[in-house]
Amino acid sequence: MVVDIDEPVAVGVVFDRGGVRPVWLVWQGRKRVLREVTLRWQGHEGRATLAYFSVTDGTQLYELCLHAEHLTWRLTKVETP
């Protein structure tokens, strides 16, 4: 089930092979180690580029959004099995 969240979160990333790869996120007071980036895509908000990442910790699927102008991360959605 997909749940809309849209909250600011802290995300740890690795700059790897010319790209950014989220490796952990902190949400609801818990650090979640991310196993896989399943999909990346871009959108726009006005002139700002939004970089989206679909990531999983093996249990849940998270959709993260990086606002390229503000350099802030938001957790936009969570999907539980």
Partner 1 sequence: MSERTIFHIDMNAFFASVEQMRNPALRGKPVIVCGNPQSRTVVAACSYEAKAYGITNGMAVHEAKQRCPQAVLVGGDPVTYRDIAHHLFAIYEEFTPEVEVFSIDEAFLDMTGTAGVEETARAIKARIRQRYATLTCSVGIGPNKLIAKLASDLQKPDGLVRVRAGAIAALFERLPVESLCGVGPRLQARLNEMGIITCADLGRAPETILLKQFGIIGLALQRMGQGFDESPVLRFHAEDEVKSMGHSYTLPRDTGDREAVGRVLLRLSEQVARRLRAEAYRGRTVHVVVRYQGFATFSRQRSLPDHLDDGLAIYRTARRLLDTFDPFDSPVRARSGLRPARLAKPREAGGAPLPTRAIRMVGVGVSTLMQYQRQLSFLEDEERAVLLNHWLDRINDRFGDFTATRAACLAPLIPKTHGFLGHQRGG
Distance CA 16, CA 23 (A): 11
Per rule CB under 8 A, is residue 79 in the interface with partner 1? yes
**Binding status of residue 68 toward partner 1 by CB under 8 A:** no
Among the listed ranges 10-18, 20-28, 32-40, the one in contact with partner 1 (CB under 8 A) is: 32-40
With CB under 8 A as the contact rule, the residue among 15, 46, 70, 71 that binds partner 1 is: 46
Q: Can you tell me the distance from the alpha carbon of 35 to that of 57, in angstroms, rounded to the nearest whole number? A: 5
Using the minimum distance from each CB to partner 1, give the nearer residue, 7 or 79: 79
